[in-house]
A and B are shown apart, each in its own frame.
Chain A
Amino acid sequence: MSTEELKDVQIDHTVDGIGEVCPHTLNIALKALKKAKPGEVVVEETDHSIATKTIPSAVKMNKLAEVLGIVEENGIYKIYLKKL
């Protein structure tokens, strides 16, 4: 999804991963996905650049969530995940 489309997506859970590094950034996403119901959208906010690669790979590889996309603003990444 494009950045514009992502901004219109309804977010069900937002989790804070700013100031965190691996593996905490991934653990935060996994915990939030565990809490969410299927179909709900989880957004993790983080400033850890590598998390924009590791979190999408992890959820795709294990079919945990659909990666809707990533929005970057002033060095903060918002990773959009839709629980499967």
Chain B
Amino acid sequence: MEFFLIDRFILAAVFGFLYGFLIQKADFCFVASVRDYISVRDSRIGKGVLVLIATALVGWGLALTFGWASIGQVWSVPVGGMNLIGGVIFGIGMTIAGSCASGALYRAGMGYIQFWIVIASMLAGNILFALIYDPWGAAVQEPLQATETGFSFYQLNLPYLLLPLVVVGFMLFITIRQFGIKGVIQGVKDSIQDLKGNPLTKSHWDIRLVAFLLGVVATLQFILLSTISITGPETRIAGVALSFVFGEDFVYNNTYLNQMFADFPTIGLGPEETLIIFMIVGAFISALLSKSFKIRYPKARRLPYAIGGGLIMGISSRLAPGCNIANVIPGLGGLSLSSIIVVVGMILGVFIATAYIFKMPLLLFQKLDLD
């Protein structure tokens, strides 16, 4: 089978390693990008996410324009109410757990026991969803579906680079208006400071630089292998674990899990699952080099957050579908309508959990009185 050629596994491992390494180097946390902005007006990580989106947009636009990838390879899923509901619940789940799908992986590599528990709970959530979907879930989900297939704005008959350039141009315009041309040039200069000396042993790289590099790596993956996703492959990893316990028939007899392995010759780990595992390895090596690796034990009273948040993320990532990484990088980069809705939902979800579960100050909207 062409899909399972060994070079695809090697490529996937390299990409996974690079993602894990880079995300660890910037402590790239998607939850914080929204939470810290609304709570304490800290936009540092949010700016990183915007750079990542801009890079992915231009990357996808270039790949399609030059024919390095075809429109059929752009990731998009049917549009409907589940995009918003799944997004909101995922946003709440990741705020409770303290990390998004990618955050849990890189911190697992840094030695956080809490995030190994989050990942295990996410896998359990995936299985729970599959067991609810077959027999009951499908009937609830289908009426909420508005279109049969996915839709990407690249499907409009426009030059592929037009929309990315308009969106990124608008982002640049806003940035220049706020910081001035000199400010923007200084920002670029500041962001590459961390590459001086021996960058491998530094504990922190500027998040804007890392965001740009992540966008480039994701574009290369889009051209050479596939679109990055985390929770889909994690569901298959959970399916493989399930097949060890209950046998392969149990997995094949579940409608949802069956379709997850539709392109697989057997129930096993493919290139994308390899990529996920190597993200942890990349983060582990990155943390070792900068002496940031440490086994970190969570406070016992936080375990319900890790388990509950992880379960919620596991279930909702199947509803939306997709996690923060799939919807932000190939989703927004691919101008997929469903992902735009999911991302709006996730932002709402983070807001709800920040304001009503953690009852954090909301300094974007009010003043904090410390006295």
Contacts and interface: CB of A to CB of B under 8 A. Distances in A.
Interface of A: 19-24, 26-27, 30, 33-34, 47-50, 53-54, 57-58, 61-62, 64, 74-75, 83
The 6 closest A-B pairs by CB, nearest first: A75-B294, A58-B40, A21-B98, A50-B27, A19-B299, A57-B42
A19 B298 contact: yes
Contact of A20 (B40, B42, B292, B299): B299
A61 B298 contact: no
Chain B interface helix/strand/loop/mixed: loop
A57 B110 contact: no
B94 to A, nearest CB: 11
B121 interface: no
A55 to B, nearest CB: 9
Contact of A26 (B40, B298, B302): B40
B363 interface: yes
B208 interface: no
A82 B264 CA distance: 58
B32 interface: yes
A62 B40 CA distance: 7
A49 B370 CA distance: 25
A65 B341 CA distance: 38
Interface of B: 27, 29, 31-32, 35-36, 39-42, 44, 95, 98-99, 110, 112, 114, 203-204, 292, 294, 296-299, 302, 354, 358, 360-361, 363, 368, 370
Contact of A54 (B36, B204, B363, B370): B36
Contact of A21 (B36, B114, B368, B370): B114
18 contacts: A19-B299, A19-B302, A21-B99, A23-B39, A24-B98, A26-B40, A27-B360, A30-B361, A30-B370, A34-B370, A49-B110, A49-B203, A50-B27, A57-B40, A58-B39, A62-B368, A75-B292, A83-B370
Interface centre among A23, A33, A74 (most CB of B within 10 A): A23
B32 A54 contact: yes
Contact of B298 (A21, A64, A75): A21
A26 B121 CA distance: 25
B355 to A, nearest CB: 11
A30 B360 CA distance: 10
A49 B299 contact: no
Given A22-B35, A22-B98, A57-B44, 8 more contacts: A19-B297, A20-B302, A21-B99, A23-B98, A23-B360, A49-B110, A61-B42, A74-B294
A48 B103 CA distance: 13
A50 B27 CA distance: 6
A82 to B, nearest CB: 13
